[in-house]
Structure 1
Amino acid sequence: MAGEADNTSRNSNMFFNLALYDLNDDELEKNIGALVFIGILMILGLLGNINTIFIYLNRYKPSNYRTFILCLAIVDLATCCFSMPVSLIILRFPLMFPYDKACQGFYFFTLSMCIGSSLILVTIAADRYRKICVPHGAQISVRMAKYICILDLLLASAFSWPSIILFGNRRYEIPKHNVNGTGCYYNDEFRKTNYPAKYNYFLLFILLVTFVALLLIYVLIGKRLLHIQRKGRSNIQLSEQTETKHMDIRNLVYTDNSSTTESQKTSVARHHMTETSEVSRCLSSPDGAANIRPFPCEQDITSIPLKQVNRKQLLKLKGRRSVTIIKILLIMTIVSFVSFLPNLFLTIITLEHDDFLSKLSFTETSVYQIFYFCFYINNVAFPIIYGLCDTKFIKETRKLYSFIVPPCFKG
């Protein structure tokens, strides 16, 4: 009799497991779109961020901007290597995810990386503001930039620690088939509480505050850049007038060759070389990030005659580079904000309405899953933005992969 009971129990478990497998496969069909979406993002993110890390590490000079970009690329690469593969497993086994600790670690790590990325963007914006709007004030050193990146990630971890408590394996009861499944979501003990919703409202608040702060900083930077450009134009006009006067004087000096000694000519040539080096010093950027720094030399630059250096062209190049960096950072900020919003809103709606997901059709559920994981766009978009906007990054990428292009197509 005991043997028959054991056989009956085994057969019952096999029946329940088969039923659960069938139900899991049914749910999996709804997640195919999200699986393909995350798979494509993971491949693009791995290739793009590895390329970004290599180029900025080997082809850019040490600077604050380089340090922050490298930190962002490492964060994005870590997300592509850990968070995205775990997301694929969660979607593959929506009713049969057995790893409780892996679920907690996944949400904690993913949230930490997302919040850390946003905080690093704020740090970059603050650094740009200091360099452009407060050039005489204390600036962030390269070493300090590294410490700030670590601090941003630690602060992000502090904001993310509630996820360790709130998330875990959730039990799904399916009375129709008399089986129970487990999925990676909020813990059962917090399922009927308002703590998950409150935590998502808190994350939404952080996102909005961060976005508003970034916009304000970039508005102030934009105003300052416009002011510098206007002042630069007036300085160039004055310098051109001064250059005309200097040229007239030089013509008078060199007209009478008999009265001009070799030592006088040599002295004038040395004077021109000193002026040229002074222009280069005034226009150079100490951190390699192509900042506009006309302030220390602003009073003298108008009195420097141009013979070997086209000041107007150099000012334009520096101005364009600085504006390009600001444009890249602003686009990154907008992409980051837009990619996080769908996940937060969908999570809040799902928590506020328990029957929200059950009312969705097959197609609506598929679309829901894709939008739920839209925040991964943030980890893939940054290398694409560099590639579209940063001409130096484009040139270095072409050089790096020039061996792929057949020799007959080069040039």
Structure 2
Amino acid sequence: MVGEAENTSRNSNMFSNPTLYDLNDDELEKNIGVIIFIGILMILGLLGNINTIFIYLNKYKPSNYRTFILCLAIVDLATCCFSMPVSLITLRFPLMFPYDKVCQGFWFLTYSMCIGSSFILVTIAADRYRKICVPHGAQLSVRMAKYICILVLLLASAFSWPCIILFGNKRYEIPKHNVNGTGCYYNDEFRNTNYPAKYNYFLLFILLVTFVALLLIYVLIGKRLLHIKGKGRSNIQLSEQTEARHMDIRNLDNTDNSSTTESQKTSVARHHMTETSEVSTCLSSPDGAADMKPFQCKQDKTRIPPKQVNRKKLSKLKGRRSVTIIKILLIMTIVSFVSFLPNLILSIITLEHDDFLTKLSFTETSVYQIFYFCFYINNVAFPIIYGLCDTKFSKETRKLYSIIVPPCFKGY
């Protein structure tokens, strides 16, 4: 009975005069949902990006696309290793976060990685456009692709440097309970200024321009691929017609019908040779993303040469691979835009209306926090997109984990 009385007395004192710890725990309850959300994303992001880096390093040949994907995976892995854990700490201690420099570095790195991912997607799209739409022009080398990745990340850092000034420990005053707390948000020096809102408007502008540019590039690439596909079909039809005419000539030569004269054979042969000469070149695309170069079709009266057949098969396979890459990049672009947009919109609304958060209910605050941090989806979704759309990537992933998983779990 004495213990129960002491607990009751302590609880009543906490309710009447709560400490900073008590108020922090009250705010923490609103953040439980987003903490679980970020925790799941962090685990998936670590596994997915490590898997992506390993497979692309060991199973893919050096290329510009491989270089850019590895750069994206490294950026996403850095976000999962630093930004997400710090986010969890800031959410765990919403009124008791004392590390000012850590807060500044956290937001600087987070925005740099997000902007850098968007810029890398633009670079990949531009490289795809050059290879498909301007195949005979100058192309990037693998070495240049590495330099471009570094330059893109430096450019993203240049756009993110205001975070070092704008963000810091915000002082929360709670006069009702005579308590002061600190949280990782915009610095007190800029609380009553419009600089944070202007910066978010600037980032929103960059995001929209990037998204529109990517869509335009992929529209042009799509039109070019459709044009190439149409030419490929016409070349196949012409090749079949040519082969049929050769068959007619052979049948004419081998016939024993006495009514067919030598002059008729000669006339038919000349007619077919004249029409066949009109098809002097064929288009070959060894890679849907490589140069489109004409080559002379080797004509044989008996059959299509094996080299030409192999080249056609290779062209089809690599053409499909190019379409798959474009599909992956387009999905990645949409996911990147959709995941980053809510953060900017909510930040602008919060900065424009000081009492916005105070009017939210418990559930609304939890939903707000999840949408505010949903830009982390961008760092987790890319490996999932590779696995769903890239047959080679998913196949190599299954091979990798079939070695790791013990036989007893495989039903042996």
Do Structure 1 and Structure 2 share a fold, with TM-score over 0.5?
Answer: yes
Residue 239 to residue 350, structure 1, CA distance change in 2 (3 Å): same
Partner residue in 2 for 1:66: 66
Partner residue in 2 for 1:86: 86
Deviates more, 1:15-24 or 1:209-218: 15-24
| CA distance in structure 1 between the partners assigned to 2:409 and 2:106 by the alignment | 48
Query: How far apart are residue 310 of structure 1 and its match?
Result: 5.5
Partner residue in 1 for 2:396: 396
Residue 21 to residue 408, structure 1, CA distance change in 2 (3 Å): closer
Is 1:239–1:302's contact at 8 Å kept on the other side of the alignment? no
| CA distance in structure 2 between the partners assigned to 1:152 and 1:372 by the alignment | 25
Partner residue in 2 for 1:213: 213
Residue 284 to residue 315, structure 1, CA distance change in 2 (3 Å): closer
| CA distance in structure 1 between the partners assigned to 2:63 and 2:82 by the alignment | 29
Q: Which amino acid aligns with 1:395?
A: K
Partner residue in 1 for 2:331: 331
Unaligned regions of 5+ residues in structure 2, if any?
A: 1-13, 256-280
Q: Which amino acid aligns with 1:291?
A: A
| CA distance in structure 2 between the partners assigned to 1:152 and 1:253 by the alignment | 67
Q: Percent identity?
A: 83
Query: How far apart are residue 326 of structure 1 and its match?
Result: 0.4
Q: Secondary structure at the match of 2:168?
A: strand
Q: Which amino acid aligns with 1:140?
A: L
Q: Which amino acid aligns with 1:208?
A: L
Residue 18 to residue 148, structure 1, CA distance change in 2 (3 Å): same
Q: Secondary structure at the match of 1:378?
A: helix
Is 2:284–2:312's contact at 8 Å kept on the other side of the alignment? no
Cα RMSD (Å) of the superposition?
Answer: 2.8
Q: Secondary structure at the match of 1:338?
A: helix
| CA distance in structure 2 between the partners assigned to 1:49 and 1:253 by the alignment | 65
Residue 46 to residue 307, structure 1, CA distance change in 2 (3 Å): same
Partner residue in 2 for 1:296: 293
Q: Equivalent residues in 2 for 1:58-207 (5 A)? A: 58-207=58-207
Q: Which amino acid aligns with 1:66?
A: R
Partner residue in 1 for 2:228: 228
| CA distance in structure 1 between the partners assigned to 2:38 and 2:346 by the alignment | 18
Query: How far apart are residue 303 of structure 1 and its match?
Result: 5.4
Is 1:31–1:92's contact at 8 Å kept on the other side of the alignment? yes
| CA distance in structure 2 between the partners assigned to 1:107 and 1:301 by the alignment | 59
Render the CA deviation track for 1:227-253: whole Å, top value 9, x for unaligned. Answer: 000001011112223344566778999
User: TM-score normalised to the size of structure 1?
Assistant: 0.84
The answer to whether structure 1 residue 383 and structure 2 residue 383 are counterparts is yes
Q: Secondary structure at the match of 2:304?
A: coil
Query: How far apart are residue 35 of structure 1 and its match?
Result: 0.1
Query: How far apart are residue 18 of structure 1 and its match?
Result: 6.4
Render the CA deviation track for 1:60-101: whole Å, top value 9, x for unaligned. Answer: 000000000000000000000000000000000000000000
Query: How far apart are residue 408 of structure 1 and its match?
Result: 9.7
Is 2:166–2:190's contact at 8 Å kept on the other side of the alignment? yes
Partner residue in 2 for 1:344: 344
Q: Which amino acid aligns with 2:106?
A: F
| CA distance in structure 2 between the partners assigned to 1:324 and 1:388 by the alignment | 11
Q: Rg: which structure is higher?
A: 2
Q: Equivalent residues in 2 for 1:231-310 (5 A)? A: 231-245=231-245, 282-285=284-287, 291=289, 293=291, 295-297=292-294, 300-301=296-297, 306-308=304-306, 309=309
Q: Secondary structure at the match of 1:401?
A: helix
Is 2:285–2:293's contact at 8 Å kept on the other side of the alignment? no
Partner residue in 1 for 2:10: none
Q: Which amino acid aligns with 2:392?
A: K
| CA distance in structure 2 between the partners assigned to 1:324 and 1:17 by the alignment | 62
Query: How far apart are residue 15 of structure 1 and its match?
Result: 12
Is 1:168–1:187's contact at 8 Å kept on the other side of the alignment? yes
Partner residue in 2 for 1:261: none
Is 1:68–1:149's contact at 8 Å kept on the other side of the alignment? yes
Q: Which amino acid aligns with 2:135?
A: P
Is 2:18–2:177's contact at 8 Å kept on the other side of the alignment? no
Q: Which amino acid aligns with 2:293?
A: P
Query: How far apart are residue 401 of structure 1 and its match?
Result: 1.3
Partner residue in 2 for 1:320: 320
Render the CA deviation track for 1:181-240: whole Å, top value 9, x for unaligned. Answer: 000000001000000000000000000000000000000000000000000101111222
Is 2:299–2:305's contact at 8 Å kept on the other side of the alignment? no
Residue 146 to residue 17, structure 1, CA distance change in 2 (3 Å): farther
Unaligned regions of 5+ residues in structure 1, if any?
A: 1-13, 256-278
User: TM-score normalised to the size of structure 2?
Assistant: 0.84
Number of residue pairs the alignment of both structures matches: 369
